[in-house]
Chains A and B, each alone.
Chain A
Amino acid sequence: MNGTPAVGIAKGPGETAHEYTFVSADCEQRLKNGEFVYYRASVEGGERRILGRISKREPVKLFPDSFLSDPSVSPDDVARAIGYSQPERELFELTVTVLGYYDEVFGAFINPRVSPSCGWSIYLAEDDLLRDTLARKRLRTHGSAHIGSLLSRPEGAVPVVLDVSEFTSTHLAIIASTGSGKSYLAGVLVEELMGPANKACVLVVDPHGEYDTLTALSNTGQLIEHGSVGEYRPRVRVFTPRDIKVKLSTLEFSDLRYLLPGLSERMEELLKKAHDRVKDRANSAWSLDELELEIGRIVERNLNSETAQVDYSGSASGLYWRLRSVLGKPPFTASQHLDLRELLRPGQCTVLQLDDVDEKQQQVIVATLLRRIYRARQRTTRKETAPGDEEYLPYPAFGLLEEAHHFAPSGGDAVSTGILKQVLAEGRKFGLGVGLISQRPGKLDADVLSQCMTQFIMKVVNPIDQNTIASAVESASRDILSELPALSKGQVIVTGNSMNAPVLCRVRERLTRHGGVSMDAPAEWNRWFEGDLIEERLRDQAVLRTPATLGKKNLFG
C-alpha cells in the first residue's frame, strides 16, 4: 500500500479534537518538533494522506536516572552489562496537530475530522508531498518568492515558496529580536520581489541606512532575465536624507500639530484657521511665508473687528518662531516633493534612507508619503486620474517599513499610525501592501500587527513580545510559537496567508551582500593602534609651520 516504512503507530486521540498521539522509538531521531507526518484514511470514498505537524514529544521509556550517574560511563554500556543490548533504548509519545489532507480544488488543507485508530501506521511525510502541499506556489513560477527551505529537512530538500500576491495585498510582518536576522530576511524578500518572477514595485523605508547594499541587485545574474521583449534588470534607487523633500501642502493639520508639540490652545486655533485657509486655495502648494501671512491676516482681522473677543497677537509671535524653527528647513519645502512616478515603478526598488532624520520628521515623511501613494492608488483605481497627473499610479506598490514600531507605536500618538491602519485595512482594494519589520512587537500597535496576514517570526525571547505575537497572530498555533525562544539566527516561523500551513524555515543565503551587520568594536579599537593610523594622526595633529610662524630670526639667524 505504501513503500515508505512507518515511523510509528497511532495510540489514540490527543487532548483536543484536532490532535492525535502516536508512539515511536525514533531510533534515527527524525521526529523533531515541527516535523510533518501523516496517516492514511478513507475520506469520501478515496484514500487520503492526512498530514499533521508534531507539536509535542514526551518520553514514555528511558534509561533510569541511575544509569546516568557517571559521565564517563555510557548508559548503553550499563544496560548492555546487565543484559540489555537492543538498539531500541527509548520510546516516545508524540502529539500531532492535524492539518488535514491537501485538496487540489480548494488549494488548502481540509481537516477530515477522522482521528487515526489505535494501531494505524504513521509515516514521515515525503519531501515531495511537502513540496506540493505546504507552499501555494511552485519554485521560480510567476508570483513566487523562495525564501528558504524547511528547517526539519536537509537544506534545499523542501523549499519554502511564498505566494507574493498574498503578502503584497494582505500585508506582512517580520518580527524578531535584534541580531536574529530580520534585515537579512527582508533583503531576501526584496531580492525575490525584484526577481524576474515578480518584477515588483517596492519602496523600502530604511531608518538605519542599511539597505544600500541592495544596489547590487541590478548586477545580480540570478535576477536578470533575457526575454523576448528585451532584458529585464531590476533597478535600485537610493534616496538619501538630502534627497527627501516634503511639500508643506501635503501636511495635514494633525501633522503640523504633531511636529509642533506644546502649542497653546490659542496657537492651535490660530494655526488651524490659517492652515484651513491656505489649504482651501485653488493653488494648494502653499509656502511657509503664505501660512505666516495668513496668520498675520487673522490676527489683524481680529484686532480690527469689534465683535471678535480673542486677541491672537501674543500667540502669533510664538507661533511664527516655532513654525520657522521646524518647517523652515529641510525636508520641508514649498514646492518640491518626491515624485511618485520616480519613486515607484515596476522593476524598481526604492530605498528611502532616513538615518539622519529626526524621529518625528521620519514619521511625518512616512505619513505624508503613504497618504500620497494611497490616494494615488485610490484615484487611479477609480479612474479619477489620467496618465500625466501627479496622482496617477497605474500599478500596485509594496512598501517595507523597518523599525515599524516607530511608525505605529502601541498606545502612542504617532502621526503615521492612522494612515498605516488605513492602508492595512483598505490597501488590498487598491493594490497597496505594506510589510512591517520590528524588533519590539510589544511596542507595535496591536491592531496594526494583527492586520498583517503573513507573519515571519524569528527568535523572540522577551515574554511581553511573545504574548503580543500570540495574541496578534491568529494563524500560528501555540505549539509553533513555543519554538520562538529556541530559534537560531536565520531560522523563521512563516505563517499566514502566503503559505498553506505554518512552517519552520531556514532562510536561504542572500544573493546580495547583507548591509545590516553589527560593527566589530574590538577590531576598530585595535585598528587605532596600527602604524598607518598612528602616523596619520600625528600628521593631522602636527602644527602647521608657516614662514610667518617660524620668524625671521630662525630664517636668517
Chain B
Amino acid sequence: MINAGKTMSMTIGKVIKSNSHVDYVCQVYGPGEVPNVPRPEDYALGTWVKLPAGSHPDSHAVGLVYDTQLYNPDYGTFGPRLSSPSQLEVFSPDYLSETATLLGLLVVGQIQPSHATSGYCPVVAQIGAPVARMTEDEVCAFHVGEGRLDLSYYSLLLSMPNPLLPPILVSVLDQLEGLMPEHERTLRALRTNLSWRTRVDLAR
C-alpha cells in the first residue's frame, strides 16, 4: 500500500477540485501530459504528497493519498457510435483523453522553509496546483517538530468517516518506523494500539 523506498520527488498530477478545506481531488497526469508518466505505484494509497499553498514559492500543503477513482465518461454510453475507436483517434483525440485517474488527498499539514506544521494547512491550494510525491527526507522533516516526533494529524485522520483511513494510518506508522528508527518505540506503541482498535476491537 505504501510507496516506500522512493527518494526522488516527482510530480504526479494536478489539483482539479476540492470537497472541503482538507479534502482535495487530484487528477493523475496521463500520457502526453508530462515526460515521465507516473506509474500506479507512485500514487498508491498512503503516499505522501505536497502541493503549493500560499504565496511563498516554498510553502506547501502536505497531503496523504487516501482514495483513488478511475474516471471514464464513456462508461454508460451504450448507444450506436458513428465513429469507431480507431477513427476517434484521428478525428477526436480529446474525447479519448477524458478518461482519468483521480486521487483523494487529505491535507494534514504544511511545510514552510522555516518549519513544518502537522494537523492542518491554513491556506488553500489552487486549482491546477501541481501535486508532487514527497521524498523520504521531506516526510521525515514533516514529522519532526521542535526535535520531537509530531503526528498531530493522527486524531484528524481517525475522526474522518472513511473506513480506509485507520489501515492507511497503520501503514503510515509502519513506513515511519523504517524512516525514523530513533522514534521506533513510540511509533510501535501507537501502531500496536491502533491495530488493536481497528482490527480486534472492531471484530467484537
Contacts and interface: CB of A to CB of B under 8 A. Distances in A.
Name the residue in B149, B183, B186 with the highest tally of chain A Cβ atoms < 10 Å from its Cβ.
B186
Contacts of B154: 81-83
A73 B149 CA distance: 13
B185 A70 contact: yes
Contact of B155 (A66, A70, A78, A82): A82
Interface of B: 118-119, 148-155, 183, 185-190, 192-193, 196-197
Contacts of A80: 148-150
A417 to B, nearest CB: 64
20 contacts: A66-B193, A66-B196, A67-B189, A70-B188, A70-B192, A73-B185, A73-B186, A77-B149, A80-B149, A80-B150, A81-B148, A81-B150, A81-B151, A81-B154, A81-B187, A83-B119, A83-B150, A83-B151, A83-B155, A85-B148
Contact of B186 (A66, A78, A83, A85): A78
Contacts of B151: 81-83
Contacts of B118: 83
A16 interface: no
B190 to A, nearest CB: 6
Nearest to A68: B189
Contacts of A66: 193, 196-197
Contacts of A83: 118-119, 150-155
Given A81-B149, A85-B148, 4 more contacts: A70-B192, A73-B186, A73-B189, A77-B149
B201 to A, nearest CB: 10
Contacts of B186: 73, 77-78, 81
Contacts of A81: 148-151, 154, 183, 186-187, 190
Contacts of A546: none
Interface of A: 66-67, 69-70, 72-73, 77-78, 80-83, 85
B193 A67 contact: yes
B193 A69 contact: yes
B119 A69 contact: no
A503 to B, nearest CB: 43
A67 B190 CA distance: 8
A72 to B, nearest CB: 6
A72 B192 CA distance: 14
A82 B119 contact: no
Contacts of B150: 80-81, 83
A159 to B, nearest CB: 46
A72 B151 CA distance: 19
Contacts of B192: 69-70
Name the residue in A73, A77, A82 with the highest tally of chain B Cβ atoms < 10 Å from its Cβ.
A82
Contacts of A78: 186, 189-190
A77 B149 CA distance: 8
A285 B186 CA distance: 88
Nearest to B184: A73
Contacts of A73: 185-186, 189
A81 B197 CA distance: 18
Contacts of A82: 151-152, 154-155, 190
A69 B192 CA distance: 9
A85 B146 CA distance: 11
A296 B197 CA distance: 96
B41 to A, nearest CB: 28
B189 to A, nearest CB: 5
A83 B116 CA distance: 13
A70 B152 contact: no
Contacts of B187: 81
A557 B154 CA distance: 108
Nearest to A81: B149
Given A66-B193, A78-B190, A81-B149, A72 B185 contact: yes
